[in-house]
Amino acid sequence: MSIQKDKLVIFDTTLRDGEQSPGASMSKEEKVRIARLLERMRVDVIEAGFAIASPGDFEAVKAVAETVRESRVCSLARAINADILRAGEALKKANASRIHTFIATSPIHMQYKLQMAPEDVLQQAVQAVKTARQFTDDVEFSLEDGSRSEPDFMYRIIEAVIAAGAGTINIPDTVGYGEPGEYGALFRRVIEHVPNSDRAIFSTHCHNDLGLAVANSLSAVMNGVRQVECTINGLGERAGNASLEEIVMAVQTRQDLYSVETSIDTRHIVPTSRLVSSVTGFPVQPNKAIVGANAFAHESGIHQDGVLKHRETYEIMRAEDVGWGQNRLVLGKHSGRAAVRARYGELGVAFSDSETFQQVFQRFKILADKKHEIFDEDLHSLITGSETPVERFHLQDLDVRSKIGSAPQAFISLLVEGESHQTEACGSGPVDAIFKAIERIVGSGADLKLYSVNAVTQGTDSQGSVTVRLEKDGHLVNGVGADTDILVASAQAYMDALNLLAMGESKKQGV
Between these two residues, 20 and 48, which has the higher pLDDT value?
48
442 has pLDDT over 80: yes
255 has pLDDT over 70: yes
- Which of 383, 401, 421 is the endpoint of a domain? 383
172 has pLDDT over 90: yes
340 has pLDDT over 90: no
* pLDDT on residue 325: 67
Counted domains in the chain: 3
Mean confidence (pLDDT) of the chain: 87
Rounded mean pLDDT, 135-154: 94
Q: What is the pLDDT of residues 25-56, one digit of tens each?
A: 788 888 999 999 999 999 999 999 999 999 98
Q: What is the pLDDT of residues 288-326, one digit of tens each?
A: 999 887 777 634 343 334 434 444 544 567 888 887 765
Rounded mean pLDDT, 93-100: 98
Rounded mean pLDDT, 404-424: 93
My answer on whether 191 and 250 are in the same domain is yes
* pLDDT on residue 461: 62
* pLDDT on residue 389: 46
Specify if 329 maps to a domain: no
* pLDDT on residue 315: 58
My answer on whether 275 and 424 are in the same domain is no
Specify if 324 maps to a domain: no
Share of the chain above pLDDT 70, in %: 89
240 pLDDT band, cuts 50/70/90, is very high
Listed residue (178, 113, 99, 193) closest to 146, CA to CA: 178
Specify if 311 maps to a domain: no
Strand partners, 416: 393, 419
My answer on whether 179 and 216 are in the same domain is yes
* pLDDT on residue 77: 98
Specify if 399 maps to a domain: yes
CA distance 122 to 190: 17
Q: Go through the chain and tell me how many residues it has.
A: 511
Between these two residues, 478 and 504, which has the higher pLDDT value?
478
Rounded mean pLDDT, 12-33: 88
My answer on whether 365 and 493 are in the same domain is no
Specify if 317 maps to a domain: no
* pLDDT on residue 371: 66
My answer on whether 131 and 268 are in the same domain is yes
Sheet holding 447-455, edge to edge: 447-455, 464-472, 475-483
Residue 426 sits in a domain of what CATH number? 3.30.160.270
My answer on whether 412 and 360 are in the same domain is no
My answer on whether 440 and 494 are in the same domain is yes
* pLDDT on residue 475: 79
Residue 135 sits in a domain of what CATH number? 3.20.20.70
Specify if 165 maps to a domain: yes
Rounded mean pLDDT, 343-364: 81
CA distance 432 to 415: 20
Listed residue (144, 35, 51) closest to 89, CA to CA: 51
Rounded mean pLDDT, 354-362: 86
73 pLDDT band, cuts 50/70/90, is very high
Cβ atoms within 10 Å of 365's Cβ, excluding its own: 13
* Domain extent for 75: 7-280
My answer on whether 207 and 351 are in the same domain is no
386 has pLDDT over 70: no
Sequence-separated (6 or more) residues with CB below 8 Å from residue 62: 51, 89, 90, 91, 92, 93
Q: Are the CB atoms for 125 and 110 separated by under 8 Å? A: no
* pLDDT on residue 336: 84
My answer on whether 346 and 397 are in the same domain is no
Strand partners, 97: 73
Q: Give the range among 74-78, 197-201, 283-287, 417-421 with minimum mean pLDDT.
A: 283-287
My answer on whether 238 and 257 are in the same domain is yes
* pLDDT on residue 511: 32
